[in-house]
Structure 1
Amino acid sequence: MQIPWRAAPRAALSSPLTLLVSVVTALLLSFVVAAAVMHSAASGSAAIDYQQDRLCREALHPSLEATGIPHQYVPGIMREIEKAVPDHPPLIGAYVREQRVDFGGLPTDAKFGYRPGATDHLKVLEGGSKDGLWVPQSIAATTDLQLGRRGMGGRLPPVTAVYADLLDPLPEWWCPERHFVVPNVLDRDELATAVVWMPSAESFAALPPEIAGVTDLTVRFPAGVPGTIDEAAALLEEGTARIAPIKEGFNRTISPLGLPVENARQTVANVRSAVLPLTLISLLIGLAGVATVTVQWAQRRQPELRLLWVRGAGPFALGGRGVLELGLPLVVGGVLGLGTARLLLPWYAPSVLLPPGTVTSAALAVVVVVAASLLVAFATGALRTHRMFQVAGRGNRLRKVLTALPWELATAALAVWAWTRVQHSGLATTTKVGGLPR
């Protein structure tokens, strides 16, 4: 016979309470699944951000350092580096070792350096012109320094500024250069002096031989701060490939993102492992709620369903009728659940930054959940009508057995499984007094 399919969705409006319960059930079910996907992905971004707070954000890109380079070779090395990486201009810092220097008055200990843009990140105390030497206050106080005076018998540029010494905590721009710009008063092998900044690379190359000596070189590549695991991994991979052609001759390669990326990926795996059992429990409870709503629908529609049954409609047709009436509310609830999970992300996730494709993955998970809900609604509707009209009065023994089974034990077993996974995932804290979290 022909079932009035077109009228089924409209007929659902006659039971607004059932529609409301269907929407809310699907909303909660979809929210839990979508939130689990987003929370797991966001945990990686939170781990990256947490570990970046302990690194120099200006040197997250892999970088190079070399020590003890003869000063006369430095200009050529700098030119070769700039030619080798034209796609990402490097920020090169050069520092000579401390020597006895005459600034036109009493001799004092000082070391000279050059780094493009250095004078833009210093606090000026006297003067300020950028075409001469910038002397730290700690050195200026040890000699009768005068602005405009040329040291080393006129072979140095004139002193044009006195700046405040760089001290901890350093600004971000100076963080990767800390070893070279902050005097190490605890190291007996080095003189505790700050840097006298040269106005240009040419003036640094023209330093008098008696104060040039050997040079320490740093090659940094300023880059944007990554927010997700994918961005951090991409920066690490691209940076490693970028410095590969120029790393020969450098005795130190710095890749600060290597361990954070590995740790962040492990964090995502741990969180997903811990959340998965809880999500499965919520999914089963939600699908049980969908089945309950379908049973209530069958009870409310019993006279109409009986009429259709008498006219020749079978259990599958009546189950399909239930999907037509409850399907739209379930789909609407799924969409609302996905939107709610995305909207409330700042409230439940450790980070608001999601890797590309996370929302798509969450949407696919919601589609699977909605499809499962529709399947449960169809099966429940078919079984319920089958029991009401086709096998009424039979199957009492099976019904009694199913009723007597302690189904709560299944949920309890899943809860124990979830707790065990949390305990062994490294996310749980120890209960021992004085112990530290794993």
Structure 2
Amino acid sequence: MSATPQDKAALDRVGGLSYLNPAAPEPWASFVEQIERVRPHLGALERWIETLKHPKRALIVDVPIERDDGTVAHYEGYRVQHNLSRGPGKGGVRFHPDVTLNEVMALAGWMTIKNAAVGLPFGGAKGGIRVDPASVSKGELQRITRRYTSEIGIVIGPDKDIPAPDVGTNAMTMAIMMDTFSMNRGGTATGVVTGKPIALGGSLGRQEATGRGVFIAAREAARHLRLPIEGARVVVQGFGNVGGIGARMFHDAGARVIAIADHTAILVNEAGIDIPAALEHTAANGGLKGFAGAAPIDPEAFWRLECEFLVPAALEGQLTVERAAGARARIVVEGANGPTTPAADDILHERGILVVPDVLANAGGVTVSYFEWVQDFSSFFWTEDEINERLERIMVAAFTAIWKVAQEKQVSLRTAAFIIACARVLEARAERGLYP
């Protein structure tokens, strides 16, 4: 792929140069390296592997709005559809000041793998806007969301690409996106997004699904290693919808959560943190800062705490080579997308630290999003117990299959998950052929 100086300048501005140079240490480069690692295991399907190294479609949109003070502000938005061979695109929308095209491409790729690894009939997609939600008013944020939805409306739809919440977005964001798409289409389309409020076709159990899935994956890993959950020490980075709920489920199962961290504070209490109290404090104060039930700890010392479970549940690229070399966990459970760099992954593997990869560990959210999508199409809704039972069944079956491949081929759980997922995606690609 060649690029003009103007192309390179534009890509550099959005963090996209790694698409031209996969050797650069960016999320997309990490994803491509993970794909390359499964090449020897694909057999005849290797012929199609380049499919996974080229996003099907990447849309960059300008999102102009009138601010409350009458000025006009422009924000940059993205929607990337990585692969649609197995079904419509599926993946969240991220509002964050550091969002780049490179990051969104990688996140879309990981969604392709995640959906295939757990057997969902979706391809992979992801979206985002480079904006700090805390820097704009509620009205401005709604205008940003509506304009972004209108701009990407040409590529999304219930049978084309279905967004969901991610970092910086929530059920209300999805309600606004659904309403905007529906107004433009001229009819209510509840299935265009998932993670909606219950009153608008959302699913019971969706809010807790990702954190619940993280706990289920951790529990299954512990079971295979004959490691009891009760009394186990847990360290959680990220205390939002994934890390907070995951921490609560560990706490409820009798584990001892000894350290938690978010964007406001990094805290430790070797005797165990009162997680319900920490969640209450976070809800009331917007973060962990000021929570009296634990003491501050140095950011790097946090990663070296001795524990049975280390759960990175914040942003990608957090577990670096240096942090992996000093980690003292038995099991790493990836609540975030792409939190471990490939080089760090190798170090953890060499040190005998089991890594439950993101494409399995945090698949609970997209699994219940699938349930929501199905319920919206049928206008028939399940109970929360039914949702949780179905989620449990899918997560356990996926873990069991991935564990079996890892043992048979003597590879990491991540490589095993990628082997299963890539084979499913590339088989669909081969069966469909090329058009025209």
Q: TM-score, normalised by structure 2?
A: 0.19
Whose radius of gyration is greater, 1 or 2? 1
TM-score, structure 1 as length reference: 0.19
